[in-house]
């Protein structure tokens, strides 16, 4: 079974084979009518032939001459206006879109970049009729990106020096995450540090709600401290 190289680049753990992709393209109503006709003829079908097909399939019809088969799989050949560069974009079947966007946006190599970078990375090797809309929606609804941005009306504190003369006078807290869900259903880490001794503590948490964090604080050794002077890091202001 031949592995499609352009797909292999982005899905190193589980490369898609050409026959798998062809099967998925034939199951997708957007690509099936074009692929079936490409497999049978070099001539573009008439509009009357394509008219009963889905709106997505009809969007591909004007690009008939730019659509080509490689190992029986439908590709779009993109060429720059001056013809100096071209690239082959796999026409991605709907059933593979989520898997691909997880790879181009969510994975370690995806890096949760914004819409424009995710778009250009996706377009390097892939094309489908609602590519831009799907990438925008994916980035907008990405939980990790939303959590990272935090509240919109964040007030910036003035930088200042804090003097502490003894352990347990003041501690700093911050939340790290979002991480992959653990077996104990935790996604976040509450990090505490004593200003004076620099003693750190790290406590896993299922969420970053104030009530959960307060409960965790009560359970820690920090709860025995004589002074509660809590400084939250980037996300919380008290």
**Cβ-based neighbours of 78, under 8 Å, separated by 6 or more:** 66, 86, 87, 88, 89, 123, 127
Q: Is 144 in the site for Zn ion (CB under 5 A)?
A: yes
Nearest-approach distance from CB 112 to Zn ion, in angstroms = 4
The single residue among 58, 70, 87, 112 that binds Zn ion, judged by CB under 5 A, is 112
Of 175 and 193, the one with the shorter C-beta distance to Zn ion is: 175
Which residues pair with residue 226 across a beta bridge? Answer: none
Q: How many CB atoms lie within 10 A of CB 230?
A: 14
**Of 16-24, 142-150, 190-198, 220-228, which part binds Zn ion (CB under 5 A)?**
142-150
CB of 105 to Zn ion, least distance (A): 6
Q: Check binding of 147 to Zn ion (CB under 5 A).
A: no
Q: Are 57 and 32 in contact (CB under 8 A)?
A: yes
Q: Which two three-digit tokens encode residue 147?
A: 């959590």
Peptide bond into 178 cis (omega under 30): yes
C-alpha–C-alpha distance, residues 137 and 232, integer Å = 32
Nearest distance from C-beta of residue 89 to Zn ion, angstroms:
23
Please say which residue, 164 or 176, places its beta carbon nearer to Zn ion.
176
Contact 50, 33 (CB under 8 A): yes
User: In angstroms, what is the minimal distance from the CB of 67 to Zn ion?
Assistant: 31
Q: Cα(132)–Cα(121) distance, rounded to whole angstroms?
A: 12
Query: What character string, x for contact with Zn ion (CB under 5 A) and - otherwise, covers 33-72?
Result: ----------------------------------------
Binder among 24, 26, 142, 189 for Zn ion (CB under 5 A): 142
Please report how close the Cβ of residue 154 comes to Zn ion at its closest, in angstroms. Answer: 19
């Amino acid at each position: 079974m031949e592995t499609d190289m352009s797909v292999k680049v982005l899905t190193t753990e589980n490369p898609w084979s050409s026959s798998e992709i062809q099967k998925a393209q034939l199951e997708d109503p957007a690509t099936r009518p074009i692929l079936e006709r490409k497999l049978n003829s070099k001539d573009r079908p008439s509009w009357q032939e394509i008219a009963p097909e889905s709106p997505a399939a009809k969007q591909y019809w004007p690009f008939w001459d730019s659509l080509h088969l490689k190992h029986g799989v439908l590709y779009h050949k993109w060429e720059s206006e001056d013809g100096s560069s071209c690239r082959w974009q796999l026409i991605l079947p709907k059933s593979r879109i989520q898997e691909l966007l997880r790879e181009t946006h969510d994975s370690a190599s995806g890096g949760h970049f914004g819409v424009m970078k995710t778009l250009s990375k996706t377009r390097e090797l892939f094309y489908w009729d609602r590519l831009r809309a799907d990438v925008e929606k994916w980035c907008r609804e990405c939980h990790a990106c939303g959590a990272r941005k935090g509240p919109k009306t964040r007030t910036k504190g003035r930088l200042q020096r804090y003097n502490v003369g003894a352990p347990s006078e003041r501690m700093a807290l911050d939340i790290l995450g979002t991480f992959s869900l653990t077996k104990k259903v935790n996604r976040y880490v509450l990090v505490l540090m004593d200003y004076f001794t620099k003693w750190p503590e790290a406590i896993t948490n299922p969420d970053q709600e104030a009530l959960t964090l307060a409960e965790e604080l009560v359970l820690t050794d920090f709860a025995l401290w004589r002074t509660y002077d809590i400084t939250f890091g980037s996300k919380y202001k008290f």
